[in-house]
Structure 1
Amino acid sequence: MYEQISHSLLNDILTQFKQPKGEDWQHFYTRLGANFYAIHSLFQHLYGQRADFKEQLGKLVNVLAQQYAQRAPHLRAKDLEREKNHDWFMQQKWVGMALYCQGFAGNLANMRDRLPYIQELGVNLVHIMPLCDCPELQNDGGYAVRDFRKVDARNGTMEDLEQLIAAMQQSDMLLTLDVVVNHTSDEHEWALKAKQGDQQYQDYYYMYPDRTLPDMFEAAMPEVFPEQAPGSFTLNPDTGKWVMTVFNHYQWDLNYSNPAVFIEMVDIVLFWANKGVDILRLDAVAFLWKKIGSSCQNEREAHLILQLLKDCCQVTAPGVIFIAEAIVAPTEIIKYFGEDAINAKECEIAYNATFMALLWDAVATKQTVLLTKGVEDLPEKLDRATWLNYVRCHDDIGLGFSDKAIIEAGFDPVSHRRFLVDYYTGRYPESNARGFAFGVNKKTGDARISGALASLAGLETALATQDQSAIENAMMTIILLHNLIMSFGGIPLIYYGDAVGTLNNDSYLQDENKMHDNRWVHRPTLDWEVMALRNEPGTVQQRLFSQIKQLIAIRKEISAFADLNNRELITLENPHLFAFHRFVQTGMHSKVVVVANFDTSPQSVPLQSFRQKGLFKGAVLTELYSGQQIIPESDFLTIPKLTAYWLST
C-alpha cells in the first residue's frame, strides 16, 4: 500500500543506506515497499511518542537490509518458491516430531546419525527444543537463554548444527527451532550490563527501585508457577532493584516498550532464519506486553509486536514461518493467527492445546460429549494458518477447556477438573494412569498434569502387573490418540519416544536442579537398545511403532487431510463416539469420515446420522487405515473399542 508519510520517511532512510555491491536487491526492495506502510504504522503505534522514533525505525530497516545481504542464495530461492506456493505448510505431507537434542541423541552430531530413525517413522518436520547457550544450572530446560547466537556446548557447536541443517535439507525435512522472545537468563550479556548499572541495558528489562510499581503490576498478574516461583518480581542484590521475573527468578522479562529490544529480537530471528531454519517457534508470546492493571497476558500490543515481527521477516526471509507458543483459551489462541484478517498476519501456526486437553478428557471419561462441545467452540482459523495437533509435549497438560463447555457437557467445572487430576495421578479407583500433579495452586486447588503418554494411557501399570487386557487397552489408546491428531486438521506433532511407548522416567529426582520440577518425568533420555525393539515382532515397541508409521504413511496419501478449513463436525447421539468429515474438491480420497470410539466396548451408530449429511451413500465402506471393506449390518455401523476409523465411500 502506498501512503505518502511512511514512504517519504522510507525514502529518507534509503538515501542513507549503503547497498552492498554485487547483490540482487530487487526482491528486497519490492518486499520492503509492499510491507513498509504496515511496518511504519505498527512501529509508530508502539513507539511513535518517542523523540528518537525516526532514528529507531532507520535502525530497524538497516537490520533488515544487513540480514538480507547475508541470506544465502539457496535460501533466497526457497523464499521465492514458497511465495508462489504460499500454503505449502498446510499440505498433508508434513508430520512433525518434537524432541530434546540431548535426550534424543546426546548431541547435534549424533542427531545426524539418528535422522534415519525419524525418516523410517515417516516424520519430515523436526522441532528441536532450545539449543542456545544457557547456564549450567538455572536454565529452565533451555528456556533461560544466555546467548541467542550461540549453541549450548552440551548440544554441540554451531558447525554441528549447520551440518545437521544441510543433511535435513537434502532429505526435504523441515527444521523448527525456538526463539525465546519474552525473557533472557539473568546471565545474558544484557542482564550482566544491567547489573553493572548500565542504564541502557536496565531499560531492556522492567527494573524498579522499590516495590511501588511491582505491587501495582502484581495486583492483577496471575502467578505462572505458584509453587516453585511465586510472585512476578525478584529483588536483584547487585542493583537493589526489583526485576520482573514472570516465570522464574533467573528469567528476566524483556521490556518491549523499548524499541531497542524489539530491534534486537528482529535481528536474532533473522539470524536463525539465515541459518536455514524453516519454522521459528516463538516462546511465551502471550506475555510480550506488560501493563499495570491487566493480567499482562494477551494484551493487544503483544499482537502488534508479532504483526510487526512478521512484516519484518517477510521483507528479509519470507519463506520462514512462525509458531505461536501461547497455551491460552481458544478465544485467545485464535488471535495469534491475527484478527481482522483473511491470511495469518502474526503466526501461521499455533498449538491446539484445547484439542489435546479434550482428548485426554475423553480418555478419562470414555465419553466424547465434552470433546464434541469443546471442538464446536474452537473458532474457525484463518485461511493461511494451521494448528499443531499433539498428544504430549515437553510441557504439562493444562485443563484449559472452557467452563461453558464443561457445563454443557453435564459436569461441574471444579469437580470435573479435580476428577481429571485424580484420574491421571492414579488416585481414582478405576484408573491405571501414572501421572503427577504439576503447578498445584493451594489457594484454588487448580493443577496441571505431568507424565509420559504411555504412562498416562495406563501402559506403565499394565506392564508392571502383566495384565494383558490392560496392555492391549493402553496400546489401543495410544494409537487412537495418534490417529486423531493425524486426521483432525493441521500438522500432527509426535513427541519423541511416544512412538515406542516410552514410560515415565524418575531419574530426574537424582538431579537437584530438576528434582523440584516433575515435568522432567516425561523428558526422557532415550535408550536406543530399547528403541531397537521396534524391529522385534511382537514387542510393545514394534507394535506401536509399526501402527504409527502406517498412520503417517496413509495420512500423506489422503488429500482431504490437507488443512484448508475443510472439516465438519458430526454430532452423534452415542456419547462414546466422536466424528468429523474431512473433504476437498479433488484428489485421492477427497471425502473421509473419521469416527472414534473412546469406550472399552464396541459402539454402534445408525448410518442415518451420516446419510442425512450426504455421506455413506454406497453399500460398502472402505476403512483406509486397515484397507478393510466394511458392509454395515442393519443400517448400523459398529466401531471396535478404542478405535478410530477413517472411512471412505
Structure 2
Amino acid sequence: MSAFEDLAERVKAHLNVIYSTEDNSDLTHEILRNMRLDEFIATPEPHHNPWTQQDAIVITYSDSIKTEGEAPLKTLRQFLRANLTGFVNGVHILPFFPWSSDDGFAVIDYLQVNEGHGTWNDISAIAGDFNLMTDLVINHCSSRSRWFDNFKKGIEPGASYFVEGDPSHDLSHITRPRTSPLLRPTETATGEKNVWCTFSHDQVDLNFANPLVLLEFVKIIRFYLDRGAKIFRLDAVAFLWKDISTSCINLPETHEVIRLIRTLVEHCNTEAIIITETNIPNRENISYFGNANEAHMVYNFSLPPLLLHTLVSGDAKALKGWLMSMPPAQAGTAYLNFIASHDGIGLRPAEGLLSSEETHSLAELMERNGGKISWRSVDANTMKPYELNIALWDAFKSTFTHADDGHQLARFISAHTIMLAIEGVPAIYVHSLFGTSNDYQRAENTGHNRAINRHQWDLSALQDALEDSDSHHAQVFAELKNLLTIRKGQPAFHPNATQFTLHLGDHIFAFWRQCANRQQSIFCINNISDQAQSISLSDINLIELDAWWDLLTSTQLTRDQKTLELSPYQSVWLSNQNYHQIAPSGET
C-alpha cells in the first residue's frame, strides 16, 4: 500500500466516525486534495516531541503594542525581535482577522488580515522569526461574515453552514459559558429562523454535521500552513458538535474531528502542533490528549486559578492535590502552562479542586483588587462566577489577610517561577511580561469585562517604562527574562521530564524534576506565604555526593548546610548540575 493510500484509509476512518451514515470516499479525496497531500506526504514519527526546554511562547494581540502611523504587526515584530529574541521562540498572535466583536473571536473573514493591523506578509515575516501560533476559531464565526449573510439569503456557501434550534424545546441542559439566550431569532429569505449561539449573538455556531463546513476549515488550515503557521489553537472546540439530546460539549464527534485535524496537519508538517482550548473542568480538559492521537497540547486551565488562590491564601494544599492528580503527558503530548491570557482566569477548571466557598472568596478578593467577575448560567435560576477579569499584576495586589503588604512583586514573580518549572511548555501573556495594570478606561469604553486585561501600549511609552529601573514594569521584565534564560538551559525542565510532588508543609509548594538520562535533577521549592520558612535539607533527600546549586542565585549549598531559609515568596531551583547560560543539547 502506498503512503497516499494508507493516509487515505486513515482519513476515511476518521470521517466514518464523524459521518457514520455516509459514504465518505469522495470527501476523503477532496480533503486530501485541498491539503495538497496528493502532492507531498510527510512521515510523522509516533510519540515524537517537537519541543524542548528551550521552547516558550508569548501571547499577544497584533495591536497590543502600537506606534502611530505604523501597522501594528510591523511594530509587534520590531518589539519581539529587539526585546524577546533568545528569551522566547514562539508567538501566539490572537485573531488578526477582520472581526466584529470579542476582540477578534467573531471572525468575519478567515482568509484576510485585518487591514488596520497589516498584511499576510507581516504575519509570514513574524513566522520567519518565531514559531507562529494562530487561532483556528472553529466553533463559530461572525454574524457579519459572508457565510452568515448567505445563510440569511438562502444561498451557498452559507445557507447550510449554521446550526438551527427550536425554541419550543427544553434547552436548559445545554452547557453554556454565557448568560445570553442560546438561540438568536434571525430573519431569512424563507422566514424567521433560530440560530444557535453558544457564546454571543454575534458569534453564530457553525454546523459541522455538514461536511462542507469541515471542508472549508481544511482549506483554511492549509492556507495558514502556507503562510508559516506552525501551531494551531482550536478555539472553543469542546462545543463543536451539537446533539440536542446531550449537553453539547465534549461529544465523540468533536474528539474525532480533532483526531482528523491532527492527522492532516502532521502529514503536512511533522513539527506542526495542535492545541485545544477547552476551558472546562480538569478531567474533561485532559481528555483531549486522547491516546496521544488528538491534541499535541492542552492548556493547563486549572493552573491559573489554583496558583492565584495558593499565593493569596498562603496555603498550597489545593495546588499540591491537583499536581499529584495530573497524569504525566505521554510522549507526543505536552501541557501548555499559563497563568494569564487575553481572557480572564477561568473558574470552571477549578471545580472539584476548590470549594464553592473558596471560589467565591477568591472572586470577592479580585473585586477588591479592582477586577470584575463574569458569570455563567447553570440553569434558569442559578448563575455561577465563570471568570475573573483582572490584570495578573493587580490580582496579586493583596491577599485574603493583607490589603497591601509590600509583596505584590514577589508574589507575581513567584507565580511565574512556579509556572516556568512545572511539566509542560510555558506561555506568557504579553502584559504579564511588563506587569501591566488594569485598564479601566478600555473596559468602560468597550463595555466588556475582559477588556480590563487588554491594554494597548504605545511603543515609546512602553520603552520608557522598561528603561526606568525604578518602575515595576522594568523590574518584572528583567526578572522574567532572567527566569526564561535560566530555564531554557536545564534538561530537567524539558516539557516531558519526570515530575514528582514534594510534601514540605502547607506553606511550601515543592516538586522535583529529572531529565530522562537522569543526569540532572532540580528541586523546585517555593515559599508561597508572607512569612519566612525554614526547610530541613534532610526532608528533601539531596544526594550527598553531588554538589547542589540554586540556579536562581548561582550559589552553591555548603557541605555542612542543614536548612534552607526562604524569605516570603522566595523560590529556589536546587540542581546537581549548574547549566545556567550553557546552551542545552535538547536531550532529556
Query: TM-score, structure 2 length as denominator?
Result: 0.90
The 8 Å contact of residues 134 and 232 in structure 2, kept in 1 or not, is answered as yes
- Post-superposition Cα deviations, 1:484-506, rounded to whole Å, max 9, x if no partner, equal 11110111111112222111111
Identity over aligned pairs, percent:
24
Amino acid at match of 1:54: S
- Post-superposition Cα deviations, 1:316-362, rounded to whole Å, max 9, x if no partner, equal 33332111111122211112111xx2xx2111111101122210110
Q: CA deviation at 1:284?
A: 0.8
- The DSSP-based 3-state class of the residue aligned with 1:492 is strand
The counterpart of 1:143, out of the listed 97, 105, 113, is 105
The counterpart of 1:450, out of the listed 360, 385, 389, is 389
The counterpart of 2:173, out of the listed 193, 209, 220, is 220
How many Å separate the matches in 2 of 1:498 and 1:348?
Answer: 25
The 8 Å contact of residues 145 and 188 in structure 1, kept in 2 or not, is answered as yes
- Post-superposition Cα deviations, 1:149-169, rounded to whole Å, max 9, x if no partner, equal 111112112233233333x1x
- Counterpart of 2:326 in structure 1 is 378
How many Å separate the matches in 1 of 2:272 and 2:516?
Answer: 28
1:195 aligns to 2:165 (yes or no):
no
Q: CA deviation at 1:616?
A: 4.3
The 8 Å contact of residues 140 and 203 in structure 2, kept in 1 or not, is answered as yes
- Counterpart of 1:279 in structure 2 is 231
The 8 Å contact of residues 205 and 252 in structure 1, kept in 2 or not, is answered as yes
1:497 aligns to 2:431 (yes or no):
yes
Amino acid at match of 2:454: R
- The DSSP-based 3-state class of the residue aligned with 2:345 is coil
How many Å separate the matches in 2 of 1:645 and 1:144?
Answer: 43
The counterpart of 1:49, out of the listed 9, 21, 34, is 21
The counterpart of 2:195, out of the listed 219, 237, 243, is 243
The counterpart of 1:355, out of the listed 290, 303, 306, is 303
The 8 Å contact of residues 196 and 204 in structure 2, kept in 1 or not, is answered as yes
- Counterpart of 1:9 in structure 2 is none
Distance change (3 Å), C-alpha of 1:452 and 1:83: same
The counterpart of 1:438, out of the listed 336, 360, 374, is 374
1:557 aligns to 2:514 (yes or no):
no
Divergent runs of 4+, >6 A = none
Query: TM-score, structure 1 length as denominator?
Result: 0.82
Q: CA deviation at 1:85?
A: 10
- The DSSP-based 3-state class of the residue aligned with 1:379 is coil
Distance change (3 Å), C-alpha of 1:632 and 1:129: farther
- Counterpart of 1:307 in structure 2 is 259
Amino acid at match of 2:362: L
The counterpart of 2:476, out of the listed 544, 549, 552, is 544
Amino acid at match of 1:479: I
1:94 aligns to 2:81 (yes or no):
no
Distance change (3 Å), C-alpha of 1:456 and 1:531: farther
The 8 Å contact of residues 467 and 474 in structure 2, kept in 1 or not, is answered as yes
- Counterpart of 2:213 in structure 1 is 261
- Counterpart of 1:645 in structure 2 is 572
Amino acid at match of 1:416: E
How many Å separate the matches in 2 of 1:148 and 1:68?
Answer: 24
Distance change (3 Å), C-alpha of 1:279 and 1:205: same
- Counterpart of 2:581 in structure 1 is none
- The DSSP-based 3-state class of the residue aligned with 1:151 is coil
Distance change (3 Å), C-alpha of 1:118 and 1:33: farther
- Post-superposition Cα deviations, 1:429-468, rounded to whole Å, max 9, x if no partner, equal xxxx3322122657244342111111111189xxxx9x7x
Amino acid at match of 1:46: I
- Counterpart of 2:114 in structure 1 is 152
How many Å separate the matches in 2 of 1:379 and 1:241?
Answer: 45
Distance change (3 Å), C-alpha of 1:154 and 1:374: same
How many Å separate the matches in 2 of 1:97 and 1:223?
Answer: 29
- Post-superposition Cα deviations, 1:277-314, rounded to whole Å, max 9, x if no partner, equal 11111111101111112211111110011101111223
Distance change (3 Å), C-alpha of 1:92 and 1:351: same
The 8 Å contact of residues 597 and 641 in structure 1, kept in 2 or not, is answered as yes
- Counterpart of 1:291 in structure 2 is 243
- The DSSP-based 3-state class of the residue aligned with 1:141 is helix
Distance change (3 Å), C-alpha of 1:403 and 1:455: closer
- Post-superposition Cα deviations, 1:127-152, rounded to whole Å, max 9, x if no partner, equal 000011223xxx21101111111111
The counterpart of 2:84, out of the listed 119, 141, 161, is 119
- Post-superposition Cα deviations, 1:217-240, rounded to whole Å, max 9, x if no partner, equal x231133211xxx12110002340
The 8 Å contact of residues 549 and 555 in structure 2, kept in 1 or not, is answered as yes
How many Å separate the matches in 1 of 2:539 and 2:393?
Answer: 34
Name which structure has the greater RCO, CA cutoff 8 Å, separation 6+.
2
The 8 Å contact of residues 383 and 565 in structure 1, kept in 2 or not, is answered as no
The answer to which structure has the higher helix fraction is: 1
Distance change (3 Å), C-alpha of 1:497 and 1:509: closer
Distance change (3 Å), C-alpha of 1:148 and 1:120: closer
Amino acid at match of 1:40: K
- The DSSP-based 3-state class of the residue aligned with 1:219 is coil
Amino acid at match of 2:266: Q
The counterpart of 2:98, out of the listed 133, 137, 150, is 133
